[in-house]
Structure 1
Amino acid sequence: MDLRYTLVAGNLVISSPESIRDTGSYQCLAINRCGTIISRAAILKFGYLHDFPPDSRRPQTAYEGIGAFLACQPPIHYPGNHSTSGLQLQTSWKITETVRQHKNI
């Protein structure tokens, strides 16, 4: 038996869980002199967020007073945007550089 798995007050505790080794379905089996019962499966999945692609983006021009659309394609991730786990991916833009052009009069 793997020593990373222990039972604490009837709960399964996995020490130092690893995606490759521990992802899967777990069920509790209870047995006594009256019979045997098995719980519904608990599915263990690991969340992840890959890096953005290293490709450079083409510059976009924005004009004062006119809206501009900057698309944000998030990298591959789990859980997806339709997850009910409350761990949905949040995206936002951060201004990293301001370029201003001044006309000499």
Structure 2
Amino acid sequence: MIDGLIAGRLMGDASRRVDKAGRTYVVARVLARNKMDEEFIVNVIAFDEMPSASLLALADGEALTLSGALTPKVWTDKQGNHRPSLDLIAVQVMTAYHVGSKQVAMDGGSPE
């Protein structure tokens, strides 16, 4: 397992699901790019309430940063090309909305 920090854009809306034991979790897909502008699909799953709520509050195409446990994978497209992807168990999600809230909290004030 690799601890990772991923920045990208949400692909579609996140969705809440329920496992066989009745526990809820959230799944999402994120499109991330590396320095060489190669695209990676990151399959995200969140079990904790805070990252789950953050993912559900976002819409398709919104920017976000996630941290958590990464697992590299390889998948084969319709043309037979092998492509990399990542699975991430999100423990923290940060968006532009969080940045404003954090800045206000650090300044010790309230939003204007």
Same fold (TM over 0.5): no
Q: TM-score, normalised by structure 2?
A: 0.24
Which of the two has greater strand per residue? 2
